[in-house]
């Protein structure tokens, strides 16, 4: 991957990945899912999840799984709004980039 992933885009991807499961999902799975999309190291995701949680975009809850507590992450209303904003922005941004890269824009 030669394109850097900005912090906002990484946030957007994480929010999108978490939002796929209405009941929420857990750290390991989020990491694996994100890593299928972009190349980030495994240690990258924890600070992002923690920040999104502090920004009230994600909420956490513990649920028993296999005899232990597992921490789940779930989108808040605010997180949902943020994700929608990211999606709208991305559409504009990626549309412009695609246009110019594919030579469909007459400057």
Partner 1 sequence: MNREEFLKKLEALLYDISPVERENALEYYRDYFEDAGPENEAIVIRELGSPERVARTIRDGLYGESDAGEYTEQGYRDQCNDTMQAPAGSFGQSSDTRSQNDGKSTEKAEEKQKKKTNWDASKIILVVILCILLAVPVGGFLVGLAGTILGLVIAFFAVIFAAVITAVSLTVAGIATGVGMIFASFFMIGSPGNALLTAGTGFLMLAVGILCLIFSVWACGSLIPAVFKGIGKLFRKLFSRGGARA
Write down the least CB distance from residue 55 to partner 1, Å: 9
- 39 part of the interface to partner 1, by CB under 8 A: yes
Q: Applying CB under 8 A, which of residues 16, 19, 21, 44 lies at the interface with partner 1?
A: 44
Beta-carbon contacts of residue 33 (< 8 Å; ≥ 6 apart): 17, 20, 25
- 14 part of the interface to partner 1, by CB under 8 A: no
Q: Applying CB under 8 A, which of residues 42, 77, 80, 89 lies at the interface with partner 1?
A: 42
β-strands 25-26, 68-75 pairing: antiparallel
Write down the least CB distance from residue 8 to partner 1, Å: 6
What is the distance in angstroms between the CA of the first residue and the CA of the last residue of the chain?
28
Whether 71 contacts 15, CB under 8 Å? no
Please, where are the H alpha helices in the chain?
7-19, 27-37, 45-54, 77-101
Q: Applying CB under 8 A, which of residues 4, 103, 104, 107 lies at the interface with partner 1?
A: 4
Contact positions vs partner 1 (CB under 8 A):
1-10, 26-29, 31, 39-44, 46-51, 54, 66, 68, 70-71
């Amino acid at each position: 991957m030669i394109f850097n992933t900005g912090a906002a885009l990484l946030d957007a991807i994480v929010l999108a990945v978490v939002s796929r499961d209405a009941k929420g999902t857990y750290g390991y799975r989020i990491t694996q899912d994100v890593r299928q999309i972009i190349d980030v190291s495994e240690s990258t995701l924890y600070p992002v999840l923690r920040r999104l949680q502090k920004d009230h975009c994600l909420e956490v809850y513990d649920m028993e799984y296999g005899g232990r507590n597992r921490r789940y992450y779930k989108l808040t209303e605010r997180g949902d709004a943020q994700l929608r904003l990211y999606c709208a922005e991305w559409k504009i941004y990626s549309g412009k980039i695609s246009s110019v890269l594919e030579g469909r824009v007459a400057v």
